[in-house]
């Protein structure tokens, strides 16, 4: 059986997938627990005093000691960790050491900007990667294929930071097509979309290159299969052969790789957020690490870990849905 056949059977498999999904969700808690231990240990054990960083050059030892006691930083780190963990279990991520603000509120304020950026990048990458991958595979070794291949290699090889700066200079400063930096509001507004377009495109361009290469490779293999030859000889339209039969099978490894790219998208978003002064959680996390804001780092990493785990679960379920040969016992 090939993927795409027997849609009735696919529907029958949904309860199995739900059971699989619930089992995976139960693993969420121990995985997050291990992640928090690792990140907390790294933070507490790394050199640097958050109070010194907060108060800077002119603070004397008394002021430092007073604030250290006020923030509970004079207690052993495992006591601080356990207290934080207890609060997390009650839905409280604590207060930022530096800003004295609720960590959950700080994340809620900044996370939408990062999600906008990454979701836009994902949509752009899918919309551009699929047609370019298909075109490359169906016009193999032509000028167009070579051009698209070169372009993919270029975007994969170039550092994101450099691409971002060049695009700002060219597209924003010289040609005035996009604004230079900042965020102007929610994505469903015209202004919001204008400001999101360039950083979102640059974040997604590397994914376009990777995914289109994968689709091309997959399609090239599948287009030579017997069943595709049979479908053509039966007189099916080329469009149906390519998109309904070949592409769906070529997407299987692509979906897998896509799941692995999600953490990379989140980490790349830090660079894009910095270049474009985009107010997301990526930059917030980097600032928090540099300022030794333990509670804020723990909170953001926890949320990121949760997002990555959930996204990978969705990818796994999608993978199983696309390919009925995958059995989640």
Partner 1 sequence: MVILVSMIIIAGTYGLGQAQPKKGGTIIDAIGTEPTNLNPFKATREPEMWIVKLIFEPLFTINPKMEIESLLVESWKASGDHRTWTFVLKKGIKFHDGTPLNAEAVKFSLEKHMIGSQGRMLKVIDAIEAVDENTVVLKLKESFPILLTVLCDHAVGMVSPKAFASEGWGSKVLVGTGPLMFKRWISGDRVILEKNPDYKHGPSFITNKGPAYVDEWIIRFIPEPATLIAELTEGNVDLTKYVTERDVQKVKDNPKTEVFMTPSTSAIFLAINCSSKNKPFDDVRIRRALAHCINADVVLKAAMSGIGDPLYTPISPSLMGFWKGSETIGKTNTKYDLDLAKKLLDEAGWKVGRDGVRVKDGQPLEVVFLAFSIARYKRMAEVATPMLQEAGFKVDLKILEAGDLYERVLKGQHDLLATGAVASKGMAVNDLIAQLHTSSIGHILQWCLYSNPEMDKLLDKARYDADPKVREQVLKDAQGLAAKEVPVVPIANAMQIFGYKKTIGGTENYFKHPWAIDQVSTFRALELYKK
- Is residue 294 near partner 1 by the rule CB under 8 A? no
Length of the chain, in residues: 329
Minimum Å distance from CB 60 to partner 1? 4
Minimum Å distance from CB 268 to partner 1? 15
Backbone angles phi, psi at 114, to 5 degrees: -70, -40
Q: Residue 102: beta bridge partners?
A: 95
Minimum Å distance from CB 298 to partner 1? 17
Distance CA 78, CA 45 (A): 11
Residue with tokens 């298909």: 134
- Is residue 30 near partner 1 by the rule CB under 8 A? no
Nearest CA-CA partner of 105 in 281, 292, 286, 278: 281
Of the two residues 69 and 127, which places its CB atom closer to partner 1 in the complex?
69
Contact call for residues 13 and 318 (beta carbons, < 8 A):
no
Output the CA–CA distances (angstroms, integers) from residue 303 to 36, 38, 87, 104, 289, in the order listed: 10, 15, 15, 10, 15
Longest dimension (CA), the chain: 86
Residue with tokens 């953001």: 300
Choice from 18, 38, 66, 260 touching partner 1 (CB under 8 A): 66
Instruction: Give the range of 94-102, 117-125, 128-136, 224-232 binding partner 1 by CB under 8 A.
Output: 94-102
- Is residue 7 near partner 1 by the rule CB under 8 A? no
Distance CA 228, CA 219 (A): 11
Choice from 134, 292, 294, 295 touching partner 1 (CB under 8 A): 292
Instruction: Give the range of 9-17, 72-80, 175-183, 206-214 binding partner 1 by CB under 8 A.
Output: 175-183
Minimum Å distance from CB 212 to partner 1? 29
Extract the tokens encoding 22: 């619930």
Backbone angles phi, psi at 11, to 5 degrees: -65, -35
- Is residue 45 near partner 1 by the rule CB under 8 A? no
Count of chain residues binding partner 1 (CB under 8 A): 51
- Is residue 50 near partner 1 by the rule CB under 8 A? yes
- Cβ partners under 8 Å of residue 194, min gap 6: 178, 179, 184
Choice from 2, 104, 109, 112 touching partner 1 (CB under 8 A): 109
- Is residue 240 near partner 1 by the rule CB under 8 A? no
- Is residue 55 near partner 1 by the rule CB under 8 A? yes
Q: Which residues bind partner 1 (CB under 8 A)?
A: 46-50, 52-63, 66-67, 98-101, 106, 109-110, 113, 165, 168-169, 172-173, 179-183, 273-280, 283-284, 287, 290-292
């Amino acid at each position: 059986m090939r993927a795409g056949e027997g849609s009735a059977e696919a529907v029958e498999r949904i309860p199995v997938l739900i059971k699989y999904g619930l089992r995976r969700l139960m693993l969420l808690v121990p995985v997050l627990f291990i992640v928090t231990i690792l990140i907390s240990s790294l933070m507490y054990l790394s050199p640097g005093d958050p109070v010194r960083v907060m108060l800077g050059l002119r603070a004397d030892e008394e002021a430092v000691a007073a604030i250290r006691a006020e923030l509970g930083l004079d207690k052993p780190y495992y006591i601080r960790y356990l207290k934080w963990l207890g609060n997390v279990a009650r839905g409280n991520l604590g207060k930022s050491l530096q800003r004295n603000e609720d960590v959950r509120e700080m994340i809620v304020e900044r996370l939408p900007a990062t999600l906008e950026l990454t979701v836009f990048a994902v949509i752009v990458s899918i919309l551009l990667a699929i047609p370019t991958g298909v075109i490359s595979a169906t016009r193999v070794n032509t000028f167009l294929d070579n051009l698209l291949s070169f372009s993919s290699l270029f975007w994969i090889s170039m550092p994101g930071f450099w691409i971002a700066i060049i695009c700002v200079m060219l597209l924003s400063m010289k040609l005035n097509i996009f604004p230079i930096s900042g965020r102007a509001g929610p994505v469903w507004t015209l202004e919001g979309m204008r400001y999101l377009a360039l950083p979102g495109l640059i974040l997604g361009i590397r994914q376009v290159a990777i995914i289109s290469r994968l689709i091309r490779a997959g399609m090239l293999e599948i287009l030579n299969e017997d069943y595709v030859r049979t479908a053509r000889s039966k007189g099916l339209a080329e469009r149906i052969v390519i998109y309904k039969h070949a592409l769906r099978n070529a997407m299987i490894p692509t979906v897998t790789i896509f799941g692995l790219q999600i953490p990379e998208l989140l980490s790349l978003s830090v660079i894009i957020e910095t270049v474009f002064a985009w107010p997301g959680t990526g930059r917030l996390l980097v600032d928090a690490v540099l300022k030794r804001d333990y509670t804020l780092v723990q909170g953001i990493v926890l949320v990121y870990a949760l997002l990555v785990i959930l996204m990978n679960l969705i990818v796994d379920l999608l993978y199983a849905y696309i390919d009925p040969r995958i059995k989640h016992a």
